[in-house]
């Protein structure tokens, strides 16, 4: 696996039709939106979750997973390194005595951090705080993703739904003749969202994020919605992935200048509210990029 030697910036476009791309649990699971502009929002955490799920399906191990007990995973890393945190440190540089039994110190933390990066894809990609339990320190990830924001204001529709059953016998006794229970479901008729991302070669070399890891990340962005189907999310798909590859680790142009080269406009043939990707046109300006190379993964 070769080290990353170049910086990358990217633009991700994805859409949703008749679904809720990212509900807010503090607002009754309404689709997230900017209250001042009406633009829809999808958090970076939501997008990273989908990447993690795809990566796990591909056979890679991840740190942040459903029902995962993080402290146990950190403990396991030290077991793999054969570092007994119940005894005094082996290396005098790490201290003459154990400050707290079961907790790493000094150079042990560095070894634990390196082991965690080696073992878990999402740590060496997005970073992690592992200072709990046995303590494997903190990792600043080379890949960062912004919130996704819709290109136009969205409308959140509220639907009444019924359930033709009850959960308990007590509920059944309370209802006479009809077991229906009412509920609510929220959807966005259509929304096209745009997110930006960054890949740092310097941080990648610190965590061990390799060229192979980067290719898997691009694959995840392209295919993550294909393995994230649910009744709540409707039709979701990646519609564009535009990668700006710099010629060096430091980069050759500001990210904002590169992102401005990807613009989304309404199709002149479109009228009324947008209801499909065909209602938009994506314009790509690849002129005079200098030492930056535009890679159109999709779009």
Q: Tens of pLDDT along 70-125?
A: 999 999 999 999 999 999 999 988 998 999 999 999 999 999 999 999 999 999 99
Q: Is residue 239 part of a domain?
A: yes
Per-residue pLDDT band at 179 (split at 50, 70, 90)? low
In a domain, 118, yes or no: no
Please check whether residue 203 lies inside any domain of the structure.
yes
Q: What is the domain count for the chain?
A: 1
Q: What does the pLDDT look like over 240-250, one tens digit per residue?
A: 999 999 999 99
Q: Mean pLDDT in the chain?
A: 95
Beta bridge partner(s), residue 17: 190, 235
pLDDT, tens only, 60-75: 999 999 889 999 999 9
**pTM for this model (two decimals):** 0.94
- What are the φ/ψ torsions at residue 287 (nearest 5 degrees)? -80, 145
Q: Is residue 174 part of a domain?
A: no
216 assigned to some structural domain: yes
Burial profile 29-58: b = 16 or more Cβ within 10 angstroms, e = fewer: eebbbeeeeebbbbbeebbbbbbbbbbbee
- In a domain? residue 206: yes
Q: Is residue 167 over pLDDT 90?
A: no
> Residue 167: inside a domain, yes or no?
no
- The boundaries of the domain holding residue 246 are 8-60+140-156+185-298
* Residue 148 located in a structural domain: yes
């Amino acid at each position: 696996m070769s080290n990353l030697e170049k910086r990358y910036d990217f633009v991700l476009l994805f859409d949703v039709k008749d679904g809720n791309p990212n509900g807010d649990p503090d607002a009754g699971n309404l689709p997230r939106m900017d209250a001042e502009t009406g633009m829809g929002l999808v958090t970076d955490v939501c997008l990273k979750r989908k990447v993690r799920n795809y990566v796990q399906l591909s056979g890679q191990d991840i740190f942040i997973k459903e029902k995962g007990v993080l402290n146990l995973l950190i403990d396991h890393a030290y077991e793999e390194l054969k570092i007994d945190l119940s005894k005094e440190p082996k290396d005098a540089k790490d201290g003459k005595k154990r400050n707290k039994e079961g907790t790493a110190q000094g150079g042990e933390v560095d070894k634990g951090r390196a082991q965690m990066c080696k073992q878990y894809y999402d740590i060496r990609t997005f970073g992690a705080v592992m200072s709990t339990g046995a303590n494997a320190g903190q990792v600043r990830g080379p890949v960062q993703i912004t919130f996704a924001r819709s290109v136009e204001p969205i409308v959140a529709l509220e639907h009444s739904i019924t359930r033709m059953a009850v959960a308990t016998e007590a509920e059944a006794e309370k209802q006479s003749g009809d077991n229906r229970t009412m509920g609510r479901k929220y959807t966005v008729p259509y929304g096209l969202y745009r997110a930006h991302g960054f890949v740092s070669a310097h941080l990648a070399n610190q965590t061990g994020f390799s060229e192979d890891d980067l290719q898997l990340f691009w694959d995840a962005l392209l295919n993550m919605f294909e393995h994230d189907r649910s009744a709540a999310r409707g039709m979701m798909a990646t519609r564009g992935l535009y990668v700006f590859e710099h010629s060096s680790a430091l980069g050759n142009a500001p990210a904002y200048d590169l992102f401005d080269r990807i613009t989304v406009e309404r199709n002149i043939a479109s009228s009324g509210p947008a209801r499909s990707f065909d209602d938009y046109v994506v314009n790509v300006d690849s002129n005079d990029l200098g030492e930056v190379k535009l890679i159109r993964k999709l779009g």
